[in-house]
């Protein structure tokens, strides 16, 4: 059936390679401690992921926000003043949650679906010689470390994933909710919170946290197509330019292999329908070069060095302005 969908959606001329209008990437760019690459692939009718790199002379901030139920929950986190520390990052996460809760309270009667919008949040910060990593949900940060004196790289996972597929997470949820026998339910082939969603910690998803906003929608989303080591080897063995896009394409090719559809066919499938093959995917690769004595001086005012993935890749590739897209999304619920 999925092959038939791919064929029916095909619009490329015979013998021609179809361009994928659902892919986006940036050129390789500098940050204070090295370089970075970004790429994303859209699957949903509205892009539910957001990715962001803020480069300044003092620090580099990296964010990946894996939204579900809509894109409102994956908007970049609130600014936090006072320098970089673990406490500042904790306050920023708390402020983002409270700010979104206030938005839901104000808009819920006119836009009830806001209560079912949420986002994972993965944040990295490089300040001086310190790398901070904070995670909420089941996005993933992996460090690739070159082995001293050897031509190989090893993968080190830097985050724990908050997903009901983990037995440890299920035990934690049960312990925190002793009066709720349905807090974790095996449904539709997987363990899910309330039988609905697999991720166990998010910004938003107020319908699961506050009884007055409760509802019963169906959502899904995973980062599942590349192992830590496979991703690190791709980065280690290939040129830097376009490296994030190379990772996205590797994930897409693995997704099509699982669905028994060619990568060429996938390129022709429209957004929305494409969600049957893979979720929205956002990737940021950050190279840490400063320890090798390599410094970049091109990073200046942080306000002019904030790189964001587009809110709608398909329309962006079609020539529609980001400003128009934001206006449409703001009034389209």
- Residue 300, burial from CB neighbour count under 10 angstroms (0-12, 13-18, 19+): exposed
- Burial environment of residue 71 by CB neighbours within 10 A (0 to 12, 13 to 18, 19 or more): buried
CA 250 to chain centre: 16
DSSP 8-state code for residue 147 = P
**Contact predicate 121/75, CB 8 Å:** no
Dist. CA 189–CA 265, nearest whole Å: 27
Residues 6+ apart with CB under 8 A from 332: none
Q: Domain segments of the chain: what residues?
A: 3-159, 171-213, 222-276
SS3 state of residue 191: strand
DSSP-derived secondary structure letter, 110: T
Per-residue model confidence as pLDDT tens for the chain (333 residues): 334 333 334 443 444 345 678 889 988 999 988 999 999 988 888 888 889 999 988 889 999 998 876 655 555 544 545 568 889 899 989 999 999 999 888 887 777 778 888 999 999 999 888 999 999 998 999 999 988 887 889 999 999 999 999 999 999 999 998 988 888 989 888 899 888 889 999 998 888 888 777 754 433 733 578 889 999 999 999 999 999 999 999 998 888 887 777 888 888 877 777 777 787 888 999 999 875 555 544 544 544 488 888 877 777 776 543 332 233 333 221
- Alpha-carbon distance of 101 to 103, in angstroms, equals 5
């Amino acid at each position: 059936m999925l092959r038939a969908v791919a064929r029916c959606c095909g619009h490329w001329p015979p013998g021609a390679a179809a361009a994928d209008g659902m892919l986006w990437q940036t050129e390789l760019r500098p940050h204070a401690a090295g370089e970075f690459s970004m790429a994303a692939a859209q699957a949903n009718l509205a892009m539910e992921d957001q990715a962001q790199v803020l480069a300044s002379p003092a620090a580099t901030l990296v964010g990946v926000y894996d939204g579900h139920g809509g894109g409102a929950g994956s908007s970049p986190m609130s600014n936090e003043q006072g320098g970089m520390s673990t406490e500042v990052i904790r306050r920023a996460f708390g402020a983002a949650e409270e700010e979104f809760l206030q938005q839901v309270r104000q808009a819920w009667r006119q836009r009830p679906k806001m209560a079912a919008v949420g986002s994972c949040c993965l944040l990295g910060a490089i300040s001086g010689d310190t790398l901070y990593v904070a995670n909420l949900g089941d996005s993933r940060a992996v460090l690739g470390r070159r082995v001293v004196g050897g031509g190989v790289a090893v993968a080190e996972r830097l985050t724990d994933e908050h997903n009901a597929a983990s037995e440890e997470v299920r035990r934690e949820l049960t312990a925190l909710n002793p009066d709720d026998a349905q807090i974790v339910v095996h449904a539709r082939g997987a363990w899910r919170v309330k039988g609905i969603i697999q991720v166990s910690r998010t910004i938003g998803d107020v319908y699961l946290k506050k009884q007055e906003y409760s509802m019963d929608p169906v959502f899904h989303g995973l980062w599942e197509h590349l192992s830590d080591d496979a991703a690190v080897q791709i980065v280690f063995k290939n040129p830097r330019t376009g490296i994030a896009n190379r990772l996205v394409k590797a994930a897409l090719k693995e997704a099509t292999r699982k669905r028994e559809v060619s990568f060429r066919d996938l390129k022709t499938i429209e957004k929305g329908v494409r969600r049957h093959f893979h979720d929205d995917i956002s990737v940021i690769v950050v190279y840490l070069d400063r320890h090798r004595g390599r410094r970049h001086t091109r990073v200046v005012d942080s306000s002019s060095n904030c790189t964001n993935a587009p809110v709608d890749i398909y329309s962006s590739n079609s020539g529609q302005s980001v400003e128009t897209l934001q206006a449409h999304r703001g009034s389209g619920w």
